[in-house]
């Protein structure tokens, strides 16, 4: 089963699959949090989404409260914060767990992907990023400290977007 076939609800609670949320496009999946020191990355994620959306690429925010309770809000509070503070227009999923026994099946697959140092395993913190192609293949992993405007991340996203278009 492709990662795109796995069920995950949208932030508003409506059932979907990851493929429905991405529209079958290449995507950057990011576990996000509203009260984290890395939260300003939302601005760069939105800029990347706006730049590449016309080329068949999307960013997908995946709220997670597993790291020091930094995403405590309800779905409505998360949506309001993201749109009002950062103008987020990219799709968001329901709040899930990315590590541990309650890890969502999508992240069971994502965490098998090694980062640029060859290290796979648990998500380290909020704003870890996974680049997934339009067929559901995980092609790259970027740790939380990699900013959305990092050249390596942007080049990989642009390459996927151009191959999709």
> Which residues form the domain of 64?
3-164
Burial of 14 (0-12, 13-18, 19+ CB in 10 A): exposed
Do 40 and 79 touch, CB atoms closer than 8 A? no
CATH classification of the domain holding 113 = 3.40.30.10
The model's confidence at residue 65, banded by pLDDT at 50, 70 and 90, is: very high
Name the domain count of the chain: 1
pLDDT over 70, % of the chain: 99
Q: Give per-residue burial for 78-91: e unless 16+ CB within 10 Å, then b.
A: bbebbeeebebebb
pLDDT tens digit sequence for 13-25 = 999 999 999 999 9
For 123, 134, 149, the CA distances from 165, given in Å and listed in that order, are 30, 11, 21
pLDDT value, residue 163: 82
What confidence tens digit (pLDDT) does each residue in 78-127 have? Answer: 999 999 999 999 999 999 999 999 999 999 999 999 999 999 999 999 99
Q: Which one from 11, 21, 33, 36 is the annotated catalytic residue? A: 36
State how far the Cα of 56 lies from the Cα of 39, in Å rounded to an integer.
Answer: 25
pTM above 0.95, yes or no: yes
Q: Is the pLDDT of residue 165 over 80?
A: no
Q: What is the distance between the alpha carbons of residues 117 and 71, in angstroms, rounded to a whole number? A: 28
Whether residue 64 lies in the annotated active site:
no
Q: What average pLDDT score do residues 55-73 get?
A: 96
């Amino acid at each position: 089963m492709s990662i795109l076939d796995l069920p995950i609800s949208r932030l508003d609670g409506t059932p979907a699959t990851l493929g429905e949320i991405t529209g079958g496009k290449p995507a950057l999946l990011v576990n996000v949090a509203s009260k984290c020191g890395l939260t300003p990355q939302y601005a760069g994620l939105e800029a990347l989404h706006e730049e590449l959306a016309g080329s068949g690429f999307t960013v997908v925010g995946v709220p997670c409260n597993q790291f020091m309770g930094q995403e405590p809000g309800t779905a409505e509070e998360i949506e309001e914060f993201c749109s009002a503070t950062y103008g987020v227009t990219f799709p968001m999923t329901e709040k899930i767990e990315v590590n541990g026994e309650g890890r969502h099946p999508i992240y069971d697959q994502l965490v098998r992907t090694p980062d640029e140092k060859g290290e796979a395993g648990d998500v380290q913190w909020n704003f870890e990023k996974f680049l997934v192609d339009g067929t559901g293949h995980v092609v790259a992993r970027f740790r939380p400290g990699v900013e959305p405007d990092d050249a390596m991340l942007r080049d990989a996203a642009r390459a996927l977007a151009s191959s999709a278009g």
